[in-house]
Amino acid sequence: MSHNLQRHPRSNHKVPADLKTPVRNHYFYGKLLDVFHLELEQEYFNSKRWLHNRLITGPGVVCGLKVELTNDEKSVVVEPGFAIDRCGREIIVARHSKPYLLPELPPYEADKTKKGYEGAEQKRPKQPTEPERRYYCEIPFAHVVLCYHECETDPMPAMAGDCETVALCASGSVREQYSIEIRDGFAPKRESSFPRNIVDGGEINYRALVDYVTGSCRNYPDDCCLPLANIELSEGSHGWDPEIDNSIRPIVYTNRLLWELISSLARHGEAAETEV
């Protein structure tokens, strides 16, 4: 379905927060408010809010959502928190997630004469103070992503059908939930397209800034899920010993966070001038 088309009332495809001409209801006395027009009402406000989130606020974690190992270190859980996915949709994790099982390691190659073993040792040199760890020819990684997910719920009697279906029961509500996936490999790197010539000699190059803003709008992504953490899958001298890196996640620079950053930089600048 094209991103520029409104959702058909029988379609499962949501109208994305993409660049399209908004359409809203025009009310008049005697207008029949059917399923299509009531969905159109919801989609108008949802699409505008998601577009705002995607292009103005930006995707990332707003608060919480720390990824932690379970006690047996074989699964991960995600703490409560709030995020905006790459399509601009809000995701709320209201309580600790259920455990998600980590993938198993490939067979360990104990023969040092095998091709690739020395390369693994070079990739991860063992520190003298570290306990002995077992590494593999290709050190396996996985990453955790958070995805927006809707669930139809609250079934109730359907008083009427349409020409296509005659349903006796239908869902009366849609709960905006989430899903968590553990995918192979590293999380995709965040690449910034912000030009370096914006700030020149301590001053903002306004022409370059205008060129950057005018150049293009951020494309609607194929994958809306948000990366939360990388997980190194490895074994130590005492057995299974994975490591979690939460620092790879994108964050949302809220007004409060920006204010704290600016204040901190200002205090740091004042302290440096005093020392001089």
pLDDT band at 138 (very low <50, low <70, confident <90, very high): low
Structure tokens at 114: 């095998």
Residue 230, Cβ density class (10 Å: 0-12 exposed, 13-18 middle, ≥19 buried): buried
Cα-based torsion angle of the residue sequence 86, 92, 97, 100 in order, rounded to the nearest 10 degrees: -10
- Can you tell me the distance from the alpha carbon of 227 to that of 181, in angstroms, rounded to the nearest whole number? 9
Q: Where are the domains of the chain?
A: 59-105+140-190+229-275
pLDDT digits (tens, 9 = 90+) for 76-118: 999 999 999 999 999 999 999 999 999 876 655 554 444 433 4
pLDDT digits (tens, 9 = 90+) for 23-52: 899 999 999 998 899 999 999 999 999 999
The predicted model scores a pTM of 0.77
pLDDT band at 196 (very low <50, low <70, confident <90, very high): confident
- Can you tell me the distance from the alpha carbon of 145 to that of 147, in angstroms, rounded to the nearest whole number? 7
3-state secondary structure of 129: coil
* Residue 267 vs residue 77, higher pLDDT: 77
In the chain the first and final C-alpha atoms are separated, in Å, by 63
> Which stretch of DSSP H or E encloses residue 245?
strand 243-245
